[in-house]
């Protein structure tokens, strides 16, 4: 045990200053064999202790038991704080432990240390963060969970004007998540297994308070019938706006059907010619360049009907440039007219779908839903799911998704808010 200057250490006052814990002072330092530094703490000046149950201060101490917390390292040395934690007689709660300022109840890490690990976990794998801070994987994961929980709990609850309900494929095969998001702020709100009516209804009713639900003007979703039912059920006042990219996906699928029909049933020569052109056909003309454009031209030269279907798909893009329902109706009418004598049953089927869902498609005229946000959210979500492959814990995945889409750190100032807890609380 080193307590004075004669051992060549700085004064304990300096150590108190370095540690910068409000209301606590260092009473001793202990060097251990494995390089760990154990710092003894005691309360500074204050004689009354805070009850962990009701936050009242009391001076009636029952007993004390030494407890330890891991803290940020000093240079290369891992640090453990030791402090005799009091048990108090509280008038309100009976026997309770005191609350310490530097850590959460029951936590084995200080809040500062937890923040550091939790933040690192957002930009690197948990195993790397654990190695960096010399803790076990489980400790790092728990720290991350506590960090994200604390962040999510203290966030203001916004009232979303536009919601997005979408399905995300989970791994291979036919397994899906339903993701509920706030499209104005571009944040994930909730996550549920399956893509059934029930899962979306549960999300809408449990993840959003009545106050928040009342603010919803529009819900952007695809033509998936269970979703439409769930929205009509849980949010009867909201308008359904069909997602542009999903409609265009249907158009792409129709085009693909035309290709199959035209080339694969037209003998082996044509079949060989049409093979492997699927991804080329799904691309937009303006994004196709050089030799690929020639390839497309050759394909269209061989089959006029495929060309027609491609042009019709390309034209469908213009649907979302109109600002009135009449404009959309006129355009759709013209589009169906152009289709009339082409003998393209696959595209005609698409036309029927568009007419059937006209209200939902044209609803974007009244509610300017940000379709781009839907897409960028999907990309972010897929990235997080891919990185966290094998993540069994659904709550954790949701917290990670919230963090990744809300992007709470956009400047060095934001970062400082997450990192320097003690120094700030001291001021
Ligand atoms: Zn109490």
From ligand 1's centre to the CA of 111, what distance in Å?
22
Token code pair at residue 202 = 């549960």
Buried b (16+ CB within 10 A) or exposed e, 201-240: bbbbeebbeeebbeebbbbbbbbbebbbebbeebbeebbb
With 90 as the cut, is the pLDDT of residue 425 above it? Answer: no
Q: If DSSP codes are grouped into helix, strand and coil, which group holds residue 252?
A: helix
**pLDDT for 300:** 81
Ligand 1: distance of its center to the CA of 101 in Å?
Answer: 16
CA–centroid distance, residue 191 to ligand 1 (Å): 37
Q: What is the predicted pLDDT for the residue at 383? A: 85
For residues 343 and 324, give the distance between their C-alpha atoms in angstroms, rounded to a whole number: 31
pLDDT at residue number 389: 64
Distances (CA, A) of 261 to 253, 266, 299, 354, 366: 12, 8, 14, 22, 38
Average pLDDT over residues 19-29: 89
Find out whether 398 and 178 touch, Cβ atoms under 8 Å: no
> What pLDDT shows up at residue 7?
52
Are 48 and 68 a contacting pair, CB within 8 Å?
no
More confident residue, 288 or 390: 288
C-alpha distance across the termini of the chain, in Å: 31
Cα–Cα distance between 164 and 167 in angstroms, integer?
10
Q: How many CA atoms lie within 13 A of 163 on its CB side?
A: 32
CA 362 from chain center: how many Å?
Answer: 29
The pTM score is 0.80
Where does the pLDDT of residue 10 fall: very low under 50, low under 70, confident under 90, or very high at 90 and above?
A: low
Tell me the pLDDT tens digit for each residue of 42-86: 988 777 899 998 989 998 999 999 999 999 999 889 999 999 999
Q: Over the stretch 221-267, which tens digit does the pLDDT of each residue have?
A: 988 889 999 999 999 989 999 998 888 888 988 888 888 888 777 77
Report the separation in Å between the CA atom of 424 and the middle of ligand 1, taken as the mean of its atom positions.
Answer: 27
Structure confidence at residue 9 (pLDDT): 54
Q: Measure the CA–CA gap between 390 and 270, rounded to whole angstroms.
A: 44
Give the pLDDT score at 194.
Answer: 85
Calculate the average pLDDT of the chain. 86
pLDDT tens track for 299-332: 787 788 888 888 888 888 888 888 899 999 999 9
Distance 57 CA to ligand 1 centre (A): 8
Q: What are the distances in angstroms from CA 245 to CA 192, 348, 350?
A: 22, 19, 14
- Is the pLDDT at 426 greater than 50, yes or no? no
CA of 87 to the centre of ligand 1 (A): 11
Are 80 and 68 in contact by the 8 Å Cβ rule? The answer is yes
Non-local (6+) Cβ contacts of 222 within 8 A are: 166, 167, 242, 243, 246
Give me the residues near ligand 1 (ion), CB cutoff below 5 Å: 51, 53-54, 90, 92-93
Tell me the per-residue pLDDT of 37-53, one tens digit each, with 9 for 90 and over. 999 999 887 778 999 98
The Cα–Cα gap between 298 and 35 comes to 72
Token digits of residue 83: 């402090």
> Tell me, what's the pLDDT at 85?
94
């Amino acid at each position: 045990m080193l307590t004075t200057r004669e051992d060549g250490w700085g004064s304990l006052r300096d150590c108190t200053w370095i540690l910068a814990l409000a209301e606590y002072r260092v009473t001793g330092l202990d060097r251990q064999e494995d390089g760990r530094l154990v710092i003894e703490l005691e309360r500074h000046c204050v004689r009354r202790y805070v009850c962990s149950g009701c936050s009242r201060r009391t001076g009636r101490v029952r007993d004390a038991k030494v407890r330890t917390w891991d803290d940020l390292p000093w240079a290369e040395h891992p640090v453990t704080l030791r402090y005799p934690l009091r048990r108090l007689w509280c008038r309100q709660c009976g026997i309770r432990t005191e609350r310490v300022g530097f850590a959460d109840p029951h936590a084995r890490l200080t809040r500062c240390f937890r923040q550091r690990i939790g933040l690192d976990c957002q930009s690197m794998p948990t195993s790397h963060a654990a190695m960096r801070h010399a803790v076990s994987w489980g400790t790092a994961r728990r720290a991350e969970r506590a960090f994200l929980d604390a962040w999510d709990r203290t966030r203001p609850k916004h009232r979303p004007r536009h919601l997005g309900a979408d399905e995300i494929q989970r791994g291979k095969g036919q397994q899906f998540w339903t993701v509920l998001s706030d499209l104005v702020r571009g944040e994930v709100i909730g996550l549920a297994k399956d893509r059934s009516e029930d899962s979306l209804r549960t999300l809408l009713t449990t993840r959003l308070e009545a106050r928040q639900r009342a603010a919803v003007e529009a819900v952007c979703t695809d033509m998936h019938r269970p979703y439409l039912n769930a929205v009509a059920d849980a949010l009867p006042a909201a308008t359904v706006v069909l997602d542009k990219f999903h409609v265009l996906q249907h158009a792409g699928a129709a085009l693909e059907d035309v290709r199959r029909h035209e080339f694969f049933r037209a003998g082996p020569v044509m079949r060989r010619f049409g093979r492997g052109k699927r991804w080329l056909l799904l691309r937009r003309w303006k994004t196709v360049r050089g030799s690929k454009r020639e390839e497309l031209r050759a394909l269209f030269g061989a089959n006029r009907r495929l060309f027609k279907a491609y042009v019709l798909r390309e034209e469908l893009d213009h649907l979302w440039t109109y600002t009135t329902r009449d404009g959309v109706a006129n355009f759709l009418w013209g589009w169906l007219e152009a289709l009339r004598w082409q003998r393209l049953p696959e595209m005609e089927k698409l036309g029927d779908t568009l007419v059937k869902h006209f209200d939902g498609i044209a609803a974007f005229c009244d509610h300017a839903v940000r379709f781009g946000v839907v897409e960028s959210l999907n990309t972010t979500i897929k990235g997080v799911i891919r990185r966290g492959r094998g993540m069994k814990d659904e709550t954790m995945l949701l917290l990670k998704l919230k963090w990744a889409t809300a992007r709470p750190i956009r400047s060095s100032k934001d970062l400082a808010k997450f990192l320097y807890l003690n120094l700030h609380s001291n001021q």
